[in-house]
Amino acid sequence: MANSAKLKSGEVLPEFQKYLLERNLVPEKNVFFHALWAGKFFAYCRKRQISSESYVENAVGEFLEALKSDPHISDWQIRQANDAIRLYYFHYRGLKPARLPAVKSNDSIPAVIDETRRVLRLRHYSYSTERTYLQWIRRFLDYGVKTQARMHATAWEAEDFRNFISHLALKERVASSTQNQAFNAVLFFYRNILCKDVEDLGNAIRAKRGQRLPTVLSVEEVKKLLARMSGKPRLMAELLYGSGLRLMELAALRVKDIDFDANTIFVRSGKGDKDRATVLPLAVRERLRDHLTAVKELHDRDIAAGRGIVYLPDALARKYPNAGKQWAWQYVFPSATLSIDPRSGRVGRHHISDTTIQSAFRTALQSAGIGKHATVHTLRHSFATHLLMSGVNIREVQELLGHKNVETTMIYTHVLRDMAGAPKSPLDALFRPRKNGANGKEGGT
């Protein structure tokens, strides 16, 4: 690893950048800036003849205070600089933190949760992921305090991690997907808050999950399902099926993401913080235009009442203070009621709740008499499978779905094979009708 004392001013630490990318510790678009902040800190230390070979709390504090005095540097940039320095020393260099938040009892857990929430938001995790991770981290901290008597964050070890994961499998008997969710949340806590690499997790008892094929509706079943829906729920269901969107991708769509001329929908910051483009079905174009006309009228009323503001991602609210009121940034499917943004605390109109379409989907599924264990996400599975059935190249389907690897998309080829090329049962051959003589009449077996 590079010796920080030999770094030149302005160097952007290529090896550190490579490390951040390989470990996926920060979003790819922020890797360069994290390395840049670390390089600026080293330059600050050299200028004041401070050793940068180890993490010095006072030096970091002075550096951050110097940044605060610069009117051109925002608060989020200062937090990014602090995270960059911590990542460099505690992950890349492998040093141990000198001071971490104490967890002396259940009453002091909120302080640790607040720090975890700050780091999650700095890394641009979605709000739903934030809530899920914090829920599991709270349970892990409660487990540590009650069963292991852990009184300080530095006391947590890899053994506690393994015990908690094993406890979920053996005592609480959670599903494999639930246990993996808890595993990822606590792993994030160890790596990013405790700054500890958890190795040798092989001793943890993990709930095993075999390969599962996704549930897929046939074309006729999709027709029956949609026929039993109407209004906005049907429009949303048609977009989920016709564009292959995830439920929260649909809910988070903004007006600017719909390109009617190119028949394209742009998904911004989807799973993995990736953007992609997918198709806008021609069958919904005009109804979607009419829907947006009604949404525009609602937005105009909100503006007149002084409430027409929407949440903006990252630092856009500070960079463009009035953008939250602009029509282009409004949600395509807004909530029917105003609410308080949990991050900014401002009153505005958020996107529609995911439970709205889920409830409508379940009702339609039952009304259509479809005896499959299907969910809203089944429409996305059906989108992919039906495209492959119609001859669309699997690479193109991969792009439309936003899958990182084609292996993920390949699961639908197994479904397609089972649907299209299933072998005939020997029972059918046993009782197959046969012809009687020259008159061509069918006879018995």
Catalytic site residue from 246, 254, 381, 386: 246
Catalytic pick among 167, 349, 386, 403: 403
Can 246 be counted among the known catalytic residues? yes
User: Among 335, 349, 344, 345, which Cα is nearest to 305's?
Assistant: 349
Catalytic: 271?
Answer: yes
CB 388 within 8 A of CB 351: no
**Catalytic annotation, pick one of 167, 380, 381, 386:** 380
Quickly tell me which residue has 């379940």 as its tokens.
Answer: 362
Q: Tell me whether residue 319 is one of the annotated catalytic residues.
A: no
How far apart are alpha carbons 400 and 276 in whole angstroms? 7
- Is residue 190 among the annotated active site residues? no
Active-site choice (121, 271, 274, 291): 271
**Which residues partner with 339 through β-bridges?**
348
Q: Is 412 a catalytic residue?
A: yes
CA-to-CA distance for 428 and 442, rounded, in angstroms? 16
**CA proximity to 253, closest of 222, 282, 295:** 295
From 121, 124, 191, 377, active-site residue: 377
Angle between the N-to-C axes of helices 75-87 and 109-122, in degrees from 0 to 180, rounded to the nearest 10: 100
Dihedral Cα 8, 13, 15, 18, nearest 10 deg = -170
Contacts (Cβ under 8 Å, ≥6 apart) of 283 = 238, 242
The long-range contacts involving 311-316, CB below 8 angstroms and separated by at least 24 positions, are 311/341, 311/343, 311/344, 311/348, 311/350, 313/124, 313/268, 313/269, 314/76, 314/124, 315/74, 315/76
Catalytic residue among 190, 241, 311, 412: 412
- Give how far Cα 99 sits from Cα of 26, 89, 96, 123, 145, Å: 22, 13, 9, 22, 19
Active-site positions read 246, 271, 377, 380, 403, 412
